[in-house]
Amino acid sequence: MNFTGAKVKKSRALGVALTPKAERIMKKRTNPPGQDGSKRRRRKSDYGVQLLEKQRLRFQYNVGEKYLRRQFERASRMPGATGENLVQLLETRMDVVVLRAGLAPTIYAARQFVTHGHFQLNGHRADIPSQKLKPGDVISVKERSQKMAVFTDLRQSGSTVPYVESDSNGMTARLVSLPERSEVPVICEEHLVVEYYSR
């Protein structure tokens, strides 16, 4: 899934900035979108709260409903807390590691860059955004793509998380370890997502 709707409107509805532009606008407009957005809203039901958290998680990773449910089922079979396992599974996707390495400005751009074949994984072409990475895996911008303005502009940004390490030239990154939930910059109460899928 690649969400193609209005990112700012969706961000305001979810209460989570999905792009840098949405982050800027949400500082000025904190209320939900629509003409009734500024009105006091009724308290959400337990189901409504769970649904909102599930949607927050889904859109921050730009994944479809069926895919998220499959990942939840996989996470529930793993040892440990299901919610943390789910976040870890999503966080080790190829497009997410590209984003965390500072090689894309948004998750939407990361998905597009991967799909268009601008990256290699351990020296081999990788164009599947959902491909899972393991600690020690190295992603790099293909030599032909390194001259593109979008990558030269991002070169200085580097990794934004401790479990992804960027090299000095900013064109290569390595997944150092599996992420701990406290290190993941995702706004979500994952236990509510677990409750939603466990109904």
CA distances from 143 to 76, 128, 147 (A): 40, 19, 8
> 98 and 145 in contact (C-beta within 8 Å)?
no
In the structure, what pLDDT confidence band is assigned to residue 57 with cuts at 50, 70 and 90? very high
State how far the Cα of 184 lies from the Cα of 168, in Å rounded to an integer.
23
Q: Which of 22-36, 43-57, 69-83, 98-112 has the highest mean pLDDT?
A: 69-83
Find where tokens 């209005």 sit: 6
Name the token pair of 63: 């994944």
State how far the Cα of 1 lies from the Cα of 63, in Å rounded to an integer.
5
Helix (H, G, I), strand (E, B), or coil: what is residue 185? Answer: coil
Q: Is the pLDDT of residue 98 over 70?
A: yes
| Antiparallel, parallel or unpaired: β 164-166 and 124-125 | unpaired
Residue type, 2: N
Q: What mean pLDDT is predicted for residues 27-35?
A: 66
State how far the Cα of 136 lies from the Cα of 175, in Å rounded to an integer.
6
State how far the Cα of 26 lies from the Cα of 90, in Å rounded to an integer.
25
Q: Spell out the residues 6+ positions from residue 190 whose beta carbon is closer than 8 angstroms to its own.
A: 53, 57, 83, 84, 86, 87, 181
| Strand ranges (E), the chain | 119-121, 124-125, 138-141, 164-166, 172-175
Name the token pair of 133: 């990475």
Q: What is the pLDDT of residues 139-198, one digit of tens each?
A: 999 988 888 888 777 655 677 899 999 886 778 999 999 999 999 999 999 999 999 999
Q: What mean pLDDT is predicted for residues 101-117?
A: 92
Domains and CATH numbers, the chain: 7-29+43-90+184-197 (1.10.1050.10), 93-177 (3.10.290.10)
Q: What mean pLDDT is predicted for residues 124-135?
A: 95
Percent over 70 (pLDDT), the chain: 89
